[in-house]
Structure 1
Amino acid sequence: MNKVTKTFSTKQGVVTLSTPFFTLMHEQQQVEAIYKPNNYNGWGMCKTFNAIEVSNFTQADAELFATTADSKLRLQGYAA
């Protein structure tokens, strides 16, 4: 598990970024962006980015990531 370095509270939930780490599959360091909704019983999703891509990750970036991730977690027309 990767140590969390940044946490952003958004309208939909919480977005956290891990510390950069190396993998065998990538030449550059990677960072996991993890989204956990406010009311989704512990479910969430994560995406791995090149560390350089998220070096200037801001609150606005977290809001966009949370909105996009939330739309993929929830099926339209179904109650959560």
Structure 2
Amino acid sequence: MHAYYGPFMGVPALRPTDLPNSIFLTYPVMHHHVPTREALFHRTGEIFDLVLGGQLTPRIGGRYVLADAAQAHADIESRGTTGKLLLLP
């Protein structure tokens, strides 16, 4: 099972042209791990079951009212947050 949290580590501190021979950089793409819609629903269901069962606890890094959405974006861009940010109505 995979839980994708996004590219939170940023860009690696190296230049692709410095890599020897046939080594290359890539990044995870959802459809490489979940090839069909049915598989996506199955795996998503497994993750929600873990959350509902208390075995997986998402980290909430901040809560913002919708009027403060620009501040939430600024906080993400400044890399001053951890976890997920929630926009509240």
TM-score (norm 2): 0.27
State which structure, 1 or 2, has the greater radius of gyration over its C-alpha atoms.
2
**Richer in helix (by share):** 2
TM-score (norm 1): 0.29
